[in-house]
Structure 1
Amino acid sequence: MYWVVWSFDVKPEQVRTFERLYGPQGDWIQLFQRAPGFAGTELRRERDRAGHYLTIDRWHTRAAYQRFKETFRTEYEMLDARCTRLTDSERKVGDFETTTGEL
């Protein structure tokens, strides 16, 4: 399994829109679901820090994620540009893989 984790600080007036776009029925999920190898996305809100969120995108393999990025580059960039206005900051936390011995 392969995970891509992002951190966001969302503008207070944009929280509802952000949660809609990044949530379980949102535009990002709809785009990701078009790609083979997509395994799901989690949206997490930090309890003690208003407006702070993580997204955890799950892919079956790194190769599947790379193929998605190549195939859907234009759509990804357009959606990302639309979402930039929602946040004060966006940071890629990292790309993570299953460790040896994990199921």
Structure 2
Amino acid sequence: MYLRIWEYEVAPDAVERFTVAYAADGDWARLFARSEGFLGTELFRDTDTGVRFATIDRWRDEADWVAFLRRWEEAYRALDRSLAPLTRGQALLLQGTSPGR
């Protein structure tokens, strides 16, 4: 399994819209689901701040992620641009597989 883990700081007035867009059935998941090998996404909210979130996107393997991006890069970039105003910052924390795989 190939994972991509992101961290976000969300504008306080955008938390509701963010949680809808980044949820397991949200905008990102629907886009990813267009491609074979997408296994799902999870959204986590920091209980201390309420505006810090993490997502975990799961793919069967890295080749499936690369194939998705090659096929859907324009839609991926457009969605990223449209949702950018919801966040104050974001960082890719990890992309990879379990050791030994």
Segments ≥4 residues shifted beyond 3 Å: none
TM-score, length of structure 2 as denominator length: 0.96
SS at match of 1:72: helix
Aligned partner of 2:44: which letter?
A: R
Give percent identity, aligned residues only. Answer: 34
Determine the structure 1 residue equivalent to 2:40.
40
Determine the structure 1 residue equivalent to 2:83.
83
CA distance in 1, matches of 2:96, 2:49: 24
| RMSD value, Cα | 1.0
Pairs aligned (count): 101
Aligned partner of 1:91: which letter?
A: A
Q: How does 1:63-74 map to 2 (within 5 A)?
A: 63-74=63-74
Gaps of at least 5 residues in structure 2 are none
CA distance in 2, matches of 1:83, 1:43: 15
Gaps of at least 5 residues in structure 1 are none
TM-score, length of structure 1 as denominator length: 0.94
CA distance in 1, matches of 2:96, 2:48: 25
SS at match of 1:65: helix
